[in-house]
Amino acid sequence: MPDFSSPWVWTVAIAAAFCVGMSKTGFGGLGIVSVSLFAMIFPAKESTGALLPLMIFADFFAVWFYRRHANWGDLVKLLPATVAGIVSGWWLMPRIPDGMFQPVLGWVVLGLMALTILQRLRPHAMAAIAGHPLLGLAAGWATGITTMLANAAGAIAAFYFLARRMDKMTFVGTAAWYFLIVNLVKVPFSAQLDLITLTSLHFDAVLLPVVMAGAAAGRLLLRRVPQRLFEWITITLASAAAVRLIAPN
């Protein structure tokens, strides 16, 4: 467990919690930054369980802000495959050696960043596959296993939502409901793996006001910060954090 008396631990935790809040109310790319930051202060596997309650708390804010904009047709189609992916990730997680999990997490983050860059550079590449019947199954399963292993499936879900040609508000509203449901489904699986503990819950409780501040800031800044510039800054920060997870300590 982290050294809770360390100012560095609390500085990183506060930054991560603020990113969680902002990621749910407009700046989705910051979610991967928060994953990488938590993996710097908790053991990599335990970091996924420690971060999950903060994400759920922020999900409720996102749903409250954007609850009227969800596309329930696409959301319902995605959920069965997502649950199957969560079960796959739950089965796989204890079979990954502890010493390998941190670099695996780093490589997952880098892979998602590569997918995000592809979205930005080749947005029309998705048009050819948008209507394929297997797209929802593949995206749902990949989202489920990645979110169970790393709490970092936003890029995969975004790929699917963009391929479905959702407008901005429908995208945000559908993602809000989707990840609230998905993260709640993950709770018993994470608890069974002992990734959520009383110690991590107490730690999270202290950070809840920071998540609230991040959620409010994300909603406020969404219309004021150039989205494209912010996305590239986020990609750079998340990639740097992922490289640190992969590199030997």
Mean pLDDT on 67-76? 79
Whether 216 has a pLDDT exceeding 60, the answer reads: yes
Compute CA distances 189 → 1, 25, 36, 73, 168, whole Å: 20, 26, 21, 26, 32
pTM for the predicted model, two decimal places: 0.80
Mean pLDDT on 66-71? 76
Whether 242 has a pLDDT exceeding 80, the answer reads: no
Cα(21)–Cα(2) distance, rounded to whole angstroms? 22
Average pLDDT, the chain: 81
Among candidate residues 74, 163, 148, the one with its CA nearest the CA of residue 115: 163
Q: With H, G, I as helix, E, B as strand and everything else as coil, classify residue 67.
A: helix
Whether 106 has a pLDDT exceeding 80, the answer reads: no
Position with higher pLDDT, 151 vs 159: 151
Whether 5 has a pLDDT exceeding 80, the answer reads: no
Q: Which residues contact 74 (CB under 8 A, 6 or more apart)?
A: 136, 160, 161, 164, 166, 174
Counting residues of the chain whose pLDDT is more than 90, the rounded percentage is: 26
Cα(125)–Cα(130) distance, rounded to whole angstroms? 9
Where along the chain do its domains lie? 7-246
Mean pLDDT on 137-163? 79
Torsional sign, CA 75, 170, 30, 123: positive
Q: With H, G, I as helix, E, B as strand and everything else as coil, classify residue 79.
A: helix
Contact predicate 75/174, CB 8 Å: yes
Q: What is the pLDDT of residue 45?
A: 83
